[in-house]
Amino acid sequence: MSGGWRAGLISLITCCMACSHDAASSSGPSPAPASPSSSIAAAPVAAPSGPPSSVGPGDGTDPGSPVLSPDDATFTDARKGFGWGDRCFAEIRRGQLGWARAACDRGLSLPDLDPAARPPLLYNEGLIAERAGDLATARSDFTQSLALRAADDPGRSTVEKELKSIGGTVPAVTPAPVGKLECRAKNGSQLVELFVDWKDGNSSSGSLRTTPATGAPSSQPITAEMVKGLVLVHPAGAASGRTLATEQTDPGKSMQVGDYKQPWLPCE
């Protein structure tokens, strides 16, 4: 083959190879994306460590947004405040201060709130305020809770300790009632408790304690006597003709606060 033919053939082969490379780079399919198993795959997002209700927006953790949790929104408290108190405290422990505040607020606003449920609800409100950094409100809530607790209240020492820890002053203690609890009954919005210390078979001393829906409990010294199956309660030092309350045990233990025209209240 002559030199001219060889040069022309080499030139033709070189052109075809260049054209083939350009076509592959410009009109061929796009490169496939990296597979998840490749070294440049995104790292997986860690699952939340707590329950689903404790992460993300609308999780009930903001004490400035006191709204009921989805579960609390359908709750009916048959225990007249104690149920809301339990739910509120559980949410405090989970850090859901917004839901907790709404639950405690709902309990305190019940028209038939049991007076005995108010002190623990106020204590819970104080815990919420303390954790939210509002120490002035926390001290007020703890002080109100203590004002409603008698000296023998089993939760009193816990509230006192919490109040002192944030610079509060413990209020005066309501004297413990004299005698053994004979009857505890709801009289409208008040809680009435009869304590009796029997000295012999028929006469005794004791206390009649009344706890209003709001405010501190008050205790009145009394004497009591057994008359035909009834316990007649009189003011201490007063004539036996004035009756503060009457307790009966048959049928069913109940108490009548005031004169005989008042209704019989079942003892709890």
pLDDT tier at 239, thresholds 50, 70, 90: low
Q: Which amino acid is at 263?
A: P
Pick the CATH number of 55-165 from 2.40.50, 1.20.58, 4.10.860, 1.25.40: 1.25.40
DSSP lists the bridge partners of residue 195 as 181, 207
pLDDT confidence band for 202 (50 / 70 / 90): low
From CA 80, how far away is CA 57, in angstroms rounded?
A: 31
Name the 3-class secondary structure at 23: helix
Per-residue b/e over 57-74, b at no fewer than 16 CB within 10 Å? eebbbbbeebebbeebee
- Quote the percentage of the chain above a pLDDT of 90: 37
182 Cβ contact list (under 8 Å, min separation 6): 194, 195, 196, 206, 231, 247, 267
Is the preceding peptide bond at 251 cis, omega within 30 degrees of 0? yes
Q: Look at residues 228, 259, 264, 262 and name the one whose alpha carbon lies nearest to residue 244.
A: 259
Taking residue 238's Cβ as centre, other Cβ atoms within 10 Å add up to 11
pLDDT of residue 223: 87
Contact 162, 142 (CB under 8 A): yes
Q: DSSP letters along 128-194, please?
A: HHHHTT-HHHHHHHHHHHHHT-BTT-TTHHHHHHHHHHTT--PPPPBPPPSSEEEEEEEETTEEEEE
Paired strand residues for 257: 245
At 50, the pLDDT band (50, 70, 90 cuts) reads very low
3-state class of 88 per DSSP? helix
Sign (positive/negative) of CA torsion 36, 38, 40, 46? Answer: positive
Alpha helices in the chain (DSSP H): 3-27, 82-93, 97-108, 118-131, 135-147, 156-165
pLDDT reading at 89 higher than 50: yes
Spacing of C-alpha 96 from chain mean position: 10
pLDDT of the residue at 240: 56
Tens digit of pLDDT for each residue in 163-185? 999 999 998 787 778 888 888 88
- Whole-angstrom Cα distance, residue 101 to residue 103? 5
Residue labelled with tokens 């709902």: 106
Tokens 């850090």 locate to: 95
Residue 42 has pLDDT above 60, yes or no: no
Residues near 66 by beta carbon (within 8 Å), at least 6 away in sequence: 98, 99, 101, 102, 105
User: So what's the pLDDT on residue 149?
Assistant: 87
Domain layout of the chain by residue ranges: 55-165, 180-266
Residue 161 banded pLDDT, cuts 50, 70, 90: very high
Instruction: Share the mean pLDDT of the chain.
Output: 78
